[in-house]
Structures are given as structure tokens and as C-alpha cells.
Structure 1
Amino acid sequence: MISDPRGGEVIVQNILGLDPAVQWTLLSIAFGLILARLYLRIILQRRRLLASDLFMCAGWCISCITACFDIHFYKMGVMQKGVTLGLVGFEGTAEEASEFLKLYHVTDYTFHSAFYFSKAALLCVYLQVFPEFMVKRRQFLWAVIAFVTASFTAVMLLLTVSCLPTWRWWALADEGCPIQTLKMMFQIAWALNITGDILIFILPWLVVPELTLRPKLRYSLYATFGLGIINILFTIVRFALIQKYGADLVITITLVELWSFMDSCVGLIIACLPSLRPYFNCKEKIQYYGNDSKQSKADSQKPIMSSNPDTVDQPANAYMSIQVQRTFSVAW
């Protein structure tokens, strides 16, 4: 018997066969957004790839690995209608059941890695656009980076050492990992994940209010970064379903995988969107994304004067001293 830190509700039986289609549809959407992101960087901006681009590509590749595992599980018969996490309804042999549990444990690593690679991509973007003169904001940003890094390390360690020896993860008898251990591991991993999501969601709101922008552009930024709440909601719903149904082992494996993949892939898609905002405003200079903090620091030594019709021609802080302008100006 096995419990799992990912879940869904058994009553949603009519979408079981759609799991691979949903997965690869989400992956296709993410792939299109990543291609647009790379086209923006390499072709339009004529610049090298940033760390955020590499993290995003890595997150997509890891998500593809997870989806490929699910195809293999489907062929094994464990993702058929009615097969639960306790492998009730599975018609395979004991060896096949053990093989599934072994591979399923591997997907736990890819599942959490996709989450944290998406977080890393967003944090790298913020590291580019938070100017060096915003000392307190950058200190908070580095604190969030340290927290996310520590969280990822902790989750990987939990998956590795929380149930030793390792073979207990795929043991079918009573020697398998106790449900209480798995439940505790899930709760810790979820708490770290949702805390990181909330902190990352807060970060841009520390900068956007200080920008001197026309309402149209300001609201577009609010809408772009506000999409992060969708990812948070998916994570909360997944947690609520697990807490309610996970202990009974009546959750089907297909729905477990469906909710897991939707949660991680939606996070991947949301993480792509902030860097694609120039596509939605043809009047805006495309070179704004990816300016490094040194350039931002240099630009901050003068009032924000822009030919962009979405920004004001003479900001409210233009009359201030250079030192004061550094506090309220930012090159985005």
C-alpha cells in the first residue's frame, strides 16, 4: 500500500482517458511560450541567453520526462480506470507492481524539480530587473533566493532519506514506507513550495508601485504578475484534495498524475509570461527585458525620460536630486 503527495478526486471518472492529452497540450503551450521567449532574446534583442532562459528550458525538459513516464505507466496498465494508489484494480503481477512503484518514486524527483526550476527562472528575471540601488529590495530578493534554494535541497533530501533503506519505497509488503512518514513528507514539501510561491508572487509588487508609468502600462504589469495567483490556487486545491482523500487510498493514479502535472505545468507557463510582455505592446522598446542591473544603475542617475507613449514624459521625481531619484526610479 502506498500514499502519494499528489492527488485528485475519484468521482471525476469521465476525464481519466484524457490525462495524456491534457499533459501534452499543456506541454505544447509551454513549448510555444518558451520558443517565443527565446526568439525575443536571440533574434529581436540579439543577446545571449540568460540563466532564467536555461532554467525554463530545463523545467520544460523535466516535465516532458514526467509525461513520458506516465505514458509508460499507461502501457503497464496502472493508469487504467479504477486503479487506485493502493494498486486496487491493477491486474499486473507483483513484479510489475514493484517496478511501477520504483519508477513512480523517480517521478517524485522530476515533479518537484519542475516546480523549483520554474521558481528559479522567475527569480533570475527579478535579479535582472531589480536595480542595485534598491538595496533593501535586493536584500529581500536574495533572501527569497536563499529560501527557495534551501527548500529545494530539503525536498530532495526528504525524498532520499525519509524512508530508508531506499527499497522500502517500492516494497509491497508491510516493510514499505509507513503512510504517516509519507504524509509528513508531503506536508513539509507542500509548505515549502507554497511559501516560495507566495514570496515570489510578492516580489514584483515591491518594484511596480515605484515605477513612473501611465495607468495603461501599470495595469498591464499588474495583470501579468497577478497571474501568479493562478499557480497558488492550483497548489492549494491540490493540497485540499490530498488532505481529504489521500489517507483512504481511493484516489486513482490517473487523477493523481493529472493534478500533479497540471499544477507543475501551469507554474511553468505562468513563469514564462512576465518576460513576454513586450509582445503585447508593440510601441514599447523590445530591449527593456534583460537589461542588467549595472545598466539600470546607470540609467537611474537621470530622470526617467522615455519616448515610450506608455510612460510619462516628465516623471514626478524629475525635480529631485540624483540621490533621491535613485530611490524612486528604475529601468525596467
Structure 2
Amino acid sequence: MSTDMTYDQLMDMVYAIPALHPVGLAKAVIGTLVALIAINTIVIVLRIYARSVLARAFGVDDMLATSGYICYLVATVYAIQGCYYGLGTRDADLPLKSSTLYMVRGAELLLWWQIPYVISIPMIKSAIAVQIMRLTPSLKYRIPLWFVVGGSTFNALAGLVAALVHCKPISASWTGMGTCGSNVPLLDLSYLFTAIAIIADFTCALVPFFLIRGLNMNPRRKWSLVGVLSVGVSAGIFTIVRVPFFKHYLIAEDALYYQGYIAMWSMLEEGVGMFAACLPSMRKLFSNYYGSSNKSGHISEAGGVVTVGGSGGPKKTLDTPLQTLSTLYPASKRGQFSATVSASRNQDPWATKSNGNNNNTSHTNSRSHGGGAWEVLDDEDASSHHGIMIQRDLFLQTGDAASRRNTGSLSGSDDLRELR
């Protein structure tokens, strides 16, 4: 290639070369990126639908995740295109007469890949952090999460500046027509950025564990939520795996081949992070279509014990305050005891009443849904969001029937299982 060639003449030749047939690492990079973008396209669409249509609560974390996905999509396009022009291919496997042109084209596409990739990282990590911050106001959890936001943003800004000012003009980074600084500072910055990224990834994975483990909720739901949020730990692992390839910033031989490894592990880090960011937001979608994790059943009372059984499933018994109270409070000693338990859910009241008459207690159960089918509520169903209100009124009658004292009243959100 003549040294007297202008930039336009060189690029005309570069853009005229045919695409390669990817093999080996280049083919693996393409397959990995196609799978990642397909999966993340599905989950981001489901997230947007669940948050904007079902929950009607499209928030900051959703906007960050959506913006991060768009940048990730652009980066994926450039990385896949780069694999058709030398990325992930050894120098010896490039066409001999035009190997330099492929190196130029591959280096150009590599830079255009880096820019949207670097921009998308803080958006995805910040989406995870903001999502976790909604679970707690505690500073001991929020401060590490703010580090994730700040550290990821610093990485992005510093990385962009380093990439854009390393060569003058910027096109010299792929054509060699201009001046470029030493690659040693870029290598040092890569190690620094990687350290911050690893800390951020493991922070997003570990904070949910410490936050959720102390909550009073269904153990199965608790650990499934921890597992979903902790999927992000894989992103930290992929970040660590790519570190040994950074040394090839200083090695000219097979530069594009080893850059293929860096691109693949980087996109795996980002793709898994996006997947982890979207999963918790889709719980509303699955709960709408598949209902609560608990089975509905019928309740029958015998001797103060409630038997709950779903169709085809094992039955279980729950102790309730509706047990035969004459045994606990004999009329000869404590007078007559009556208990009333009432509840309403979304303006659809159902009631269970017990009327005392001497030592005999009778129970009448009703629910406007009909059939006496009661649903055993789980933690989400028992939240105040569903408007569950249970009231207990206890009356203790001593002496004669004319003397009556209200001994207690309790109302509030509750779980049916807490009626024990």
C-alpha cells in the first residue's frame, strides 16, 4: 500500500473488499452475540409490557434498561460485522494480498463497537442498582449501590475519553495516518476499569442476598428472588475471564484475533447483566397469567381445625381462632366467649362468624364468590396493595348476660395463615 495514498483513497479500497466467511473464534463470537441479543430482545419487550401495561409503573430503572438495550443492540451489530472483516481471525488466515485492508476495516469496526458498548454498561448496571434500591431505604445498602452507579458512569466517561483522544485524528486508530499515543496507559486503564466493574457486579449480586434474607416472606419466593437478582454474579465472572487478553493491546501480531475474545467476553458480561436486570420486573407478568404460587382450596371446619386442600394436592390443616372455645373458657369459670372474624378483599367481603350460646359454638362461612372456596394467601397476596383487611373482635361475657366487656379489637393487613 503506497504511503502517498490519501485517507479517502485508502477507505475506498477498504470498503471494496468482500466479507470473509467466519470460522473458528469469529464464528463462535457471532453465534454467542446472536443468542444474547435474541434472548435480551425477548426479556426487554416483556419487561416494557409488564411495567408499562400491567403494572403501569414504568420508572427510572426501566428507562435505563431500555436505553442500555438500544446501545447494546448497536454494539452487537458492529461486533458481528467486525467478525466478517477480521475480528476473531488470525493474521495468517486473512487473504494474503489484502490482509492490511482487512486489518484496517476490522480495527475501524472495533472502535465503533467500543463506543455504544461503553455507553450501555453504566445504564444496565444502574438499572439493576436502582431496582434494588427500591427495596430498602437503608443507607448501608444504598451506599454500595450508589457506588455501582457512580463507578460504572466513571468507567464509561473515562473509557470514551481515552478512546477518542488516543489518536489524532481519531481515524488514525485504524488507518495509522496520524499520531497515536502509547498503548500502555490504555492497558492500565483497562485493568482499573475491570476492577471497578468486578466490584460493581458482585455488589449487585450480594446486596440482594443480605437485604432479602431477613425479610418475613415465603422461603421459596425469597430464595428465588435472591437467585434471580444474583444472576448478575455471572457478569463479574465474565469480566474476570477477559483480563488475561488485555496484554494483547501491546502485541501487534494477531491483534484482531485476541480482540475477538475481548469483544465476546465483554458482550457476555453485558448481556447477562441485562438479563438479570429484566427478570425481577417480569414477576407481575407471570403472576397475572399463572396466578399465585399457592393453590386454591376448600376449607372445612371440624373441631376448630381448618383443612385446606387444592385439587389433586395434599391437604394441610391450619389452626384458627374459630376452634371450640368452650374448652378453653368454660362457662362455669369464665362466662360465655364469642369471637367475630371479618375480612374484606378488594370490596369483596367474606365473613366467618362464631356465635356463642352457653357451651356450644356454631360456625357459618360465606364468601360472595360462592362454593365456600377460600384461597390461602401468600406474601404478595397478603400485602396492603390488595386491600386485605381482617378484623377480630373478642367479647368476654362474665356474670349475667347483661354484663359485657369489649376485651380487644385488632384490624389491619394480614395473611390467612396468621389467624392462628
Q: Does residue 27 of structure 2 align to residue 17 of structure 1?
A: yes
Q: Show the 5 A alignment for 1:311-330.
A: none
Distance in 2, matches of 1:80 and 1:148, equals 27
Q: How does 1:1-150 map to 2 (within 5 A)?
A: 14-45=24-55, 47-75=56-84, 77-79=85-87, 81-83=89-91, 91-92=97-98, 94=100, 97-131=103-137, 134-150=138-154
Contact 1:214–1:311, Cα closer than 8 Å, also in 2 = no
Between 173-182 and 34-43, report the one with greater CA deviation.
Answer: 173-182
Tell me the distance in 1 between the aligned counterparts of 2:381 and 2:81. 56
2:72 alignment partner, SS class:
helix
After superposition, the Cα gap between the structure-2 partners of 1:188 and 1:311, relative to the gap in structure 1 and judged at 3 Å, is same
Counterpart amino acid of residue 280 in structure 2 = P
Q: CA deviation at 1:29?
A: 0.3
C-alpha distance in 1 between matches for 2:76 and 2:165: 25
- TM-score (ref. length: structure 1): 0.69
Stretches of structure 2 that go unaligned for 5 or more consecutive residues are 1-22, 295-375, 384-420
For the 8 Å contact 1:162–1:181, the answer to whether it is kept is no
Which residue identity lines up with residue 116 of structure 2 in the other structure?
A: T
What is the CA distance between 1:117 and its match in structure 2? 1.6
- Corresponding residue number in structure 2 for 1:193: 197
Gaps (5+ residues) in structure 1? 1-12, 286-306, 315-332
* Counterparts in 2 of 1:164 and 1:101: CA distance versus 1, 3 Å: same
Structure whose residues are more often helix by fraction: 1
The answer to whether 1:261 aligns with 2:271 is: no
What is the Cα deviation at residue 37 of structure 1? 0.8
SS in 2 for 1:53: helix
- The number of residue pairs the alignment matches comes to 275
The answer to whether structure 1 residue 272 and structure 2 residue 281 are counterparts is: no
Q: Quick one: structure 1 residues 102 and 30, their matched pair in 2 at CA, closer, same or farther if it must change by over 3 Å? A: same
128 and 208 in structure 1: CA distance in 2 versus 1, 3 angstrom threshold: same
> 1:309 & 1:61 partners in 2: Cα distance?
37
Shift in CA distance, 179/101, structure 1 to aligned 2, threshold 3 Å = same
Percentage identity across paired residues of the two chains: 19
- Is 1:226–2:230 an aligned residue pair? yes
Query: Are the counterparts in 1 of residues 51 and 281 from structure 2 also a CA contact under 8 Å?
Result: no
TM-score by length of 2: 0.56
Distance 1:254 1:96 in 2: 14
- Provide the C-alpha distance between the structure 2 equivalents of 1:246 and 1:273, rounded to a whole number of angstroms: 36
Which of the two has greater strand per residue? 2
Structure 2: how far apart are the matches of 1:171 and 1:110? 21
- The answer to whether the aligner puts 1:166 opposite 2:174 as a matched pair is no
Is the contact between residue 121 and residue 152 of structure 2 (CA under 8 Å) also seen in structure 1?
no
Query: Root-mean-square deviation (CA), in Å?
Result: 3.5
What amino acid maps onto 1:28 in structure 2?
Answer: A
